[in-house]
Amino acid sequence: MAVTLTENAAQHVRRSLDKRGHGAGLRLGVRTSGCSGMAYVLEYADQVAPEDSVFESHGVKVLVDPKSLVYLDGTVLDYTREGLNEGFRFQNPNQKETCGCGESFSV
The structure's pTM equals: 0.85
pLDDT confidence of residue 99:
62
- Residue 77: how many other CB atoms lie within 10 Å: 25
pLDDT confidence of residue 95:
81
Any idea where the domains of the chain sit in the sequence? Answer: 4-100
Each of the 107 residues of the chain gets a pLDDT tens digit; together they read 799 999 999 999 999 999 999 999 999 999 987 666 788 899 999 999 999 999 999 999 999 999 999 999 999 999 998 888 889 999 989 887 766 555 556 66
Tell me the C-alpha distance between 75 and 3, whole Å. 5
Tell me the C-alpha distance between 74 and 79, whole Å. 17
pLDDT confidence of residue 49:
95
User: Where does 4-100 sit in CATH, by number?
Assistant: 2.60.300.12
